[in-house]
Structure 1
Amino acid sequence: MAPPSPLASVVRLAAASRVLVLALSLLARLLFRPYDTSASLHPPCLSSPSSSNSTPAATPAAAAISSLAVWDGVHFARPAECGYEYEQSFAFLPLLPASLVLLSRSLFAPLVPVLGYRAVLVISGLVLNNVAFVAAAAYFYRLSVIILKDSRAAYRASVLFCFNPASVFYSSLYSESLYALFSLGGVFYLFSGANTVAMIMLALSGSARSNGALNAGYFCFQALLQAYDAAVQKKRPILAMQALITGVLHSIFIFIPFFAFQAYGYFNICLHGNSDELRPWCKAKLPLLYSFIQSHYWGVGFLRYFQVKQLPNFLLASPVLSLAVYSIVHYTKMLCQLFQSTSLHEQIIATVEERSVEAYERSDVATVLKSKFSIGPNYKEQEHTEIKKRKSVAAKSASTSLHDNCSTGQILKDDKDGCPILVIPFILHLAFMTLTAFFVMHVQVSTRFLSASPPIYWAASHILVSPRGSSKRWGYFIVVYFIAYILLGSLLFPNFYPFT
């Protein structure tokens, strides 16, 4: 019997990790009394709900299920049940609430008369998020193989992702699982050549979490590489301009869901609300509801969290922030070493050629649908010849730079983390989010805010296998950190105690 593929193993580990986290959370809920029991309260909707939505949670089982929505889970379930009633509820983007409504009215609709609509919404969210996490783990592995060019390193990083410190949020009524699914899946398809699918998935990530809009940077990176290759290597400025325009259009599309939701909030609060009590953000030149809510209701802002009383929260976030900084420094050093040996021009040209070959072999249809069309034997023969020709060109371009560096490790020495130039957008993305988490946000949120960033796990997996003595000690710390936060999160979070 053939051993399971690494991808299948990752899927099984991801599913096992969800079972573990759910079991620990339910056990903690049974053994300990929640700090705050207000989650079980069920005030009626302000507007008149439909009859299907107003079914009460009449049984103790229904009430117990409904109370599993804690912390932000309450705010995600409420719009799904009653719509966006309050100004502050617009801080919770619509993808998760809309998904809860869809599932509760279709797959889980037979449970509504038995448990009540709110309990079914919670069940829908738990099932959806745990399944989405398993799919996100699969995309994480496939993306890591493309970037790192090392299936073993990709597998190690994927195992760490499956048991990441923010695990409890991926199995709760939070948007982390959907964001990870669409952001990791979208970037995977982008690097696989399926640009249309990538654009749709990354746009959906922006309707799950506000930072999903930052994923437009990956399209910008791709467009800059293609434009440089067209202008410098191929001497075709028109083709370079076309690549830049395409990248801009893709990026704009990714921003559309987030800004469309902001426009929805503006029309509901500023235009259709009470004109005598017009909210201050409605009068702004750029009436952005999300930033106002974060600042007004939660005190989010530059250096506003730098208070002595918040020191415990900084300590709580220090492990993930330290690992993020290490990841940025680690890959920055790799880039410096690489560019000292080979020019940036050679790196870009080799990367574009390699990506073009892979995109040719794995088009949108081939990547997503895996469909085959019978066009004729001559076409297949010509297609095979063209692929071989382009592979030959890419191999010659990369022979003195990118390919040799990644396969032989002449530049990276004992580091086997793949082709660094492809890591650039990931590192820039992580650096921006790390600075935002430390200086602007509630810093304890960093654990889950950075949990879907691949470089953290890539760098951590590198530490775990490094032969250096200091790395072994840090590797032990990483393992302890991951395990401790899974246990603490599963104990504290479901019982409404502060975690992250």
Structure 2
Amino acid sequence: MCILRNKEKLSMLSPDLIQRRPYSTLLVVFACWKLILGLIAFTTPSPAYDTSTSLLLLQSNHDNASTFGVRFLKTICGSLTRWDAIFFAKIAEPGRGYWNEQEWAFGWGYTRVIAATRRVLCSFLPLDQLAHPYPEIISAVLLSNACHIASVFVLYKLAFLFSKSPQRAHVLAWVTSVLHILSPAGLFLSAPYSESLFSLLSFTGAYLYALSMKAVGSQQHMRGNSLTLCSAIVFAAASTVRSNGLLNGILFLFDFVPALLSFDLVRVVVLGVGGVLVGAGVALPQYIAWGEYCISTPPLRPWCTKLVPSIYTYVQDVYWNVGLFRYWTLSNLPLFVLAAPTLLILFASGNWVLRQSKRNTDIVFRLAISQLILAGMAIFSYHVQVITRLSSGSAVWYWWVAVKFIGEGDTMMRSSRSTEYRTLGWILRWMVMYGLIQGVLFAAFLPPA
């Protein structure tokens, strides 16, 4: 991390080494950071603020597995199972699914992936010897960490496409990926939470769409259309994991209108199908819930009779009090202050990209639009503190910090003012310090979540 403190120290890591071994060097940084966070989770005292995890794991106290390795594993699982993770672990248990209506606020796609991961792991590991929900927690933790490192690698490829300077592309992409490792989401990217999987799917979908744009621009229409559909499928999967994955549909919208105006029917159909697929990722869990709650004898649940019967919207409204301006209370002011650094970075990076881009055909321009919308939604509708972990799935701000920090070699994207470097230094310090402090709070089951 010391190599990221200023531009001069970047030379401590050879650009040639980065170019030759980008993934192995990223893996080393990843392992070191995860080790630090893991030690924090393991050594933080048992929680006193909330006993939900203890109650969840109480059913496992009578199993016969008592070796040191198993006890260590259980301690880590207990430290990482906080807030939403409790619901994810329970929902993923075999034969359980979504028992209660309020549980439908938690990503359907993510719980299905946890369940699938558990089945795969149990085929060659004796996880079934542990009582529930330990197999689900272990599967989710392994899944989160695997998805995090995979998303780091994909972001490296995506940021490489962002670059306008071949001379700096490898270093710029590498620094961008390191920033994702040090994301302020911290332990949320290691715990049974959906952020890691969502980041991987979002970055992969964006990378495939960037390749499709490049192919179409080179008149390779069949390849471009195929990549567009592949991107849509990945984005659809992301939408089943988190509903804000629907914002990825903006990429398709930017191309759909010009294709429609130019009467490019093939491209219109491909983009239209792609957009529908992205939306289907959100609609599929709603349809499943509708079949469970709304095709039955009266009385039906209130949301069943809505024009658009969405259990997710209803649950967020009734059970979690999510809605326009609902979080704007004096008691929540500290949470807005906590989220302020993340929001400022999201808005600053998004606005910078919009000002610098000469045309809206750039992939980074479109991703900046979705990032700005997400930040705006966090301020006006969400529980605002969640933006700190939701931002982990936005590629633009990582790239912006990297560009501003090391420059990209052309006048449009060079940053040389000392005051700006000092600001960037504070951003890096904030990311690291927030990740460490948040790790203690998370493991101790202390707010904010």
TM-score range, shorter chain: 0.7 to 0.9
1:319-351 deviations in Å (ceiling 9; x for gaps): 01000111122122213xx4xxxxxxxx58xx6
Corresponding residue for residue 277 of structure 2: 253
1:181 and 2:200 matched: yes
Q: CA deviation at 1:11?
A: 5.4
CA, structure 1 residues 186+330, in 2 after alignment: closer, same or farther (shift >3 Å)?
Answer: same
Mapped contact 1:21–1:167 kept (Cα < 8 A) = no
- Where 1:107 maps in the other structure, the secondary structure is helix
Corresponding residue for residue 134 of structure 1: 149
Mapped contact 2:176–2:402 kept (Cα < 8 A) = yes
Q: CA deviation at 1:103?
A: 2.2
Distance 1:6 1:499 in 2: 39
Corresponding residue for residue 447 of structure 2: 498
Distance 2:164 2:209 in 1: 16
- Where 1:286 maps in the other structure, the secondary structure is coil
- Where 2:121 maps in the other structure, the secondary structure is coil
Mapped contact 1:10–1:159 kept (Cα < 8 A) = no
Distance 1:8 1:183 in 2: 24
CA, structure 1 residues 56+223, in 2 after alignment: closer, same or farther (shift >3 Å)?
Answer: farther
1:93 and 2:116 matched: no
Considering only CA atoms, is the larger Rg found in Structure 1 or Structure 2?
1
Corresponding residue for residue 394 of structure 1: none
Q: CA deviation at 1:283?
A: 2.1
Mapped contact 2:33–2:181 kept (Cα < 8 A) = no
Q: CA deviation at 1:95?
A: 2.2
Q: CA deviation at 1:111?
A: 2.0
User: Which amino acid counterpart does residue 38 of structure 1 have in structure 2?
Assistant: S
1:207 and 2:240 matched: yes
1:290 and 2:312 matched: yes
- Give the alignment of 1:323-338 within 5 angstroms: 323-335=345-357, 338=358
Q: CA deviation at 1:34?
A: 1.3
- Where 1:322 maps in the other structure, the secondary structure is helix
Corresponding residue for residue 263 of structure 1: 287
Q: CA deviation at 1:497?
A: 0.9
- Give the alignment of 1:226-375 within 5 angstroms: 226=259, 231=262, 237=263, 239=264, 241-272=265-296, 275-276=298-299, 278-335=300-357, 338=358
The structure 2 residue matched to 1:147, chosen from 162, 167, 172, is 162
User: Which amino acid counterpart does residue 493 of structure 1 have in structure 2?
Assistant: F
CA, structure 1 residues 423+73, in 2 after alignment: closer, same or farther (shift >3 Å)?
Answer: same
Distance 1:28 1:191 in 2: 38
- Where 1:173 maps in the other structure, the secondary structure is coil
1:430-469 deviations in Å (ceiling 9; x for gaps): 1111110111100101111122111111221233232102
User: Which amino acid counterpart does residue 47 of structure 2 have in structure 1?
Assistant: P
User: Which amino acid counterpart does residue 444 of structure 2 have in structure 1?
Assistant: N
Q: Where has structure 1 moved over 6 Å in runs of 4 or more?
A: none
Distance 2:363 2:84 in 1: 35
Corresponding residue for residue 440 of structure 1: 381
Q: CA deviation at 1:203?
A: 1.1
**Count of aligned pairs between the two proteins:** 400
User: Which amino acid counterpart does residue 275 of structure 1 have in structure 2?
Assistant: P
Q: CA deviation at 1:114?
A: 2.7
CA, structure 1 residues 57+94, in 2 after alignment: closer, same or farther (shift >3 Å)?
Answer: farther
1:16-47 deviations in Å (ceiling 9; x for gaps): 435533543443443422132321223899xx
Corresponding residue for residue 169 of structure 1: 188
User: Which amino acid counterpart does residue 250 of structure 2 have in structure 1?
Assistant: G
Q: CA deviation at 1:138?
A: 1.0
Distance 2:57 2:311 in 1: 25
The structure 2 residue matched to 1:457, chosen from 390, 398, 410, is 398
**Identity of aligned pairs, percent?**
28
- Where 2:294 maps in the other structure, the secondary structure is helix
Q: CA deviation at 1:312?
A: 0.7
Tell me the TM-score normalised to structure 1 length: 0.74
CA, structure 1 residues 206+493, in 2 after alignment: closer, same or farther (shift >3 Å)?
Answer: same
Distance 2:428 2:284 in 1: 41
Q: CA deviation at 1:8?
A: 4.1
1:64 and 2:75 matched: yes
Mapped contact 2:238–2:281 kept (Cα < 8 A) = no
Tell me the TM-score normalised to structure 2 length: 0.82
Distance 2:302 2:28 in 1: 46
Distance 1:499 1:281 in 2: 30
- Where 2:199 maps in the other structure, the secondary structure is helix
Distance 1:475 1:314 in 2: 21
1:485 and 2:426 matched: no
Q: CA deviation at 1:126?
A: 0.9
Corresponding residue for residue 158 of structure 1: 177
Distance 1:331 1:437 in 2: 20
- Where 1:103 maps in the other structure, the secondary structure is helix
Mapped contact 2:228–2:270 kept (Cα < 8 A) = no
User: Which amino acid counterpart does residue 328 of structure 1 have in structure 2?
Assistant: G
Q: CA deviation at 1:208?
A: 1.0
User: Which amino acid counterpart does residue 340 of structure 2 have in structure 1?
Assistant: S
CA, structure 1 residues 118+5, in 2 after alignment: closer, same or farther (shift >3 Å)?
Answer: same
The structure 1 residue matched to 2:30, chosen from 17, 35, 38, is 17
Distance 2:389 2:208 in 1: 24
Q: CA deviation at 1:58?
A: 4.8
1:32 and 2:45 matched: yes
Corresponding residue for residue 412 of structure 2: none
User: Which amino acid counterpart does residue 258 of structure 1 have in structure 2?
Assistant: V
Mapped contact 2:145–2:189 kept (Cα < 8 A) = yes
Give unpaired runs (5+ residues) of structure 2: 1-14, 213-226, 407-414
Mapped contact 1:93–1:208 kept (Cα < 8 A) = yes
Give unpaired runs (5+ residues) of structure 1: 46-53, 232-236, 339-346, 352-420
Distance 2:64 2:247 in 1: 43
Mapped contact 1:55–1:112 kept (Cα < 8 A) = no
Corresponding residue for residue 120 of structure 1: 135
